[in-house]
Structure 1
């Protein structure tokens, strides 16, 4: 089976390797971010806000530090807002915790707003307009939702005609649009809420369980799957009503090894992959 090798992309500076990586992402403009804490979260820490450090590394390798005050999420999602500032959200909402699990911070690291986006957040990605896209796994609410940075609900997949949307397996946000694949029917979905003509388009798809998707023109790539397909990289062509498979291979680390435990982020034609100890991002680009 053909192997595609990931390319090294961004590294957490060694000066910060003594801190615990809570989470990490690559934003819509290609800058990598790490949310760091002094220690590993403990179960008894749930009600104690803490200060955290965001280390940002742009595509040219320049690093920037932002101290965030009174972060509440212990197992968070992170992304950057255009023009500075960050969004931090807890993936789960427990009854004994603050239900405003999404915190918005300004460029100086001060909380400016907070709101609830619902339990069971699988993906959180910010677009070029600062809209916050949230994909949920199979809880309540399910589906895909878009929020403003002040907590205004600006789009929902409810009644959008997306078949079998119970778990947002893959979410890719690029520009102001989103692409998704969802359990149980695994369609490829394009979402452009501001488009008056067909804001949601759906293509039937035979690739099951992918964790990330990349799109370039009429070409698409799906990464991941169930069981032995966890390292699968499946290519396809977007037709009128369905995705037609063209090739299947494996996506490996730069040294040829299987990625193992990973984080992924889909952005346009790119799929970013990060593996333990989560200090390095690598990239696959469908456009390369």
Structure 2
């Protein structure tokens, strides 16, 4: 099978390798961010608020440091807001009404608001307008929702007629558009809440189990799958109603081997992949 190698994208500066990586992401503008703590959180019990450091590596290579005060998430999601602030969210909520699940920080690292978006966060991605997109896994039937930075629900998949939406396996947010590929039917879904005539479009899709998706024009690529297909990169083209498969490859690290344990983020035509020990992002660009 043909192999496609990731291209090196961003590296955590070596000066910070002695910190524990809580999570990492690449934002809608292409900047990579690492959320670091002095040590890993202790298992069990409540999390005591702790100070954390965000290391941001911009596409031009410049490095920016932001200290966040009193972070409360044990297993956090992170993304940057267009105004320079950050969103940190706990993937699990002990109570649905937990007002501290999502923390919003300003560009100086001070908390400005907190609210709940519900348990079982699989994906949290911020768009260019500052909307917070959340995709849930199957322990929360909420599906896909969009929030403001003050906790106002601005869009929900309830009533959107997305077939088989029990788990948001893949979510891609670019500009102000979201793309998703949810379990169990794995359709490709385009969400544009500001488009009044047709906010949601759905294409039938035969690729199962993808954990990330990239879209460029009429072309699409799905990354991941079950068992021996976990490194699969499946290409397709959009017709009026379906995704028609065109090619399949294996996505590898820049130096050749399979990625192993990884995190993946979809942004427009790009899929970013971060492998253990989570210090270097690689990228696959469908537009290239």
Q: Do both share a fold (TM > 0.5)?
A: yes
Aligned twin of 2:146 = 146
Count of paired positions: 288
Does structure 2 conserve the Cα–Cα contact (< 8 Å) formed by 1:76 and 1:90?
yes
Q: Distance in 1 between matches of 2:151 and 2:99?
A: 13
Gapped runs of 5+ residues in structure 2?
A: none
Q: How does 1:36-75 map to 2 (within 5 A)?
A: 36-44=36-44, 46-75=46-75
- Following TM superposition, the consecutive aligned residue runs of length 4 or more in structure 1 with deviations greater than 2 angstroms are 44-47, 95-100
Does structure 2 conserve the Cα–Cα contact (< 8 Å) formed by 1:127 and 1:174?
yes
Is residue 20 of structure 2 the alignment partner of residue 23 of structure 1? no
Q: Distance in 2 between matches of 1:141 and 1:57?
A: 35
Does structure 1 conserve the Cα–Cα contact (< 8 Å) formed by 2:172 and 2:180?
yes
Following TM superposition, by how much is the alpha carbon of 1:139 offset from its aligned partner in structure 2, in angstroms? 1.6
Q: Distance in 2 between matches of 1:14 and 1:168?
A: 34
Does structure 1 conserve the Cα–Cα contact (< 8 Å) formed by 2:51 and 2:69?
yes
Gapped runs of 5+ residues in structure 1?
A: none
Aligned twin of 1:205 = 205
Q: Distance in 2 between matches of 1:160 and 1:47?
A: 36
SS of the aligned residue for 2:221 comes to strand
Deviations 1:179-207 (A, max 9, x none): 00000000000000000121000000000
Following TM superposition, by how much is the alpha carbon of 1:140 offset from its aligned partner in structure 2, in angstroms? 2.3
Name the TM-score, length of structure 2 as normaliser. Answer: 0.98
Deviations 1:88-143 (A, max 9, x none): 00000124994430000000000000110000000000000000000000022430
Aligned twin of 1:6 = 6
Q: Distance in 2 between matches of 1:11 and 1:80?
A: 18
Is residue 230 of structure 2 the alignment partner of residue 230 of structure 1? yes
Q: Distance in 2 between matches of 1:92 and 1:99?
A: 12
Deviations 1:17-75 (A, max 9, x none): 00000000000000000000000110256230000000000001100000000000011
Q: Distance in 1 between matches of 2:97 and 2:191?
A: 32
Is residue 184 of structure 2 the alignment partner of residue 184 of structure 1? yes
Does structure 1 conserve the Cα–Cα contact (< 8 Å) formed by 2:47 and 2:73?
no
Aligned twin of 1:268 = 268
CA RMSD in angstroms, aligned pairs only: 1.2
